[in-house]
């Protein structure tokens, strides 16, 4: 990435702490590894598993990110309720739906999300 789009990398990461010390591709790799966050939520959409599992993993990763942004700053009680609703909507154990379809684009995925979210929220109203 450093060799291909160095100016973009500098423009994007230039405001990050200690990035001013990054001068070479090797520095950039070391910096990225040092800043890597370890977490227990592992969503890998291309782990060699069956296609339906990979598609569901990609769907869950995107939806969980959306959930995190949508619920930032809520109280513990509100967050717990929102998470229960989230799990009911995304159905993590159901590989058939909701999920991404093979070849799905971000635009078609957004339409699917809007439809499922509206339908589920009506069920809980």
> CB–CB of 89/98 below 8 Å?
yes
What pLDDT was estimated at residue 106?
66
> How large is the average pLDDT for residues 91-113?
78
What pLDDT was estimated at residue 123?
57
Distance CA 24, CA 27 (A): 5
> How large is the average pLDDT for residues 43-64?
79
* Per-residue model confidence as pLDDT tens digits over 61-99: 889 999 999 999 999 999 999 999 999 999 999 999 888
Distance CA 116, CA 17 (A): 39
Q: Where are the domains of the chain?
A: 2-35, 51-124
Could you tell me the two tokens for 122? 């009506």
Please count the other Cβ atoms lying within 10 Å of the Cβ belonging to residue 98.
Answer: 20
């Amino acid at each position: 990435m450093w060799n291909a789009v160095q100016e973009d990398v500098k423009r994007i990461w230039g405001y990050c702490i200690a990035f001013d010390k990054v001068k070479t591709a090797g520095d950039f790799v070391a910096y990225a590894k040092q800043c890597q966050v370890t977490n227990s939520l592992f969503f890998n959409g291309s782990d060699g598993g069956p296609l339906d599992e990979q598609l569901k993993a990609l769907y869950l990763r995107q939806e969980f990110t959306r959930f995190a942004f949508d619920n930032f700053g809520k109280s513990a009680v509100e967050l717990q309720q929102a998470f229960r609703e989230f799990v009911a909507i995304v159905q993590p154990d159901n590989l058939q739906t909701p999920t991404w379809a093979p070849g799905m684009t971000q635009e078609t995925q957004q339409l699917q999300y809007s439809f499922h979210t509206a339908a589920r929220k009506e069920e809980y109203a």
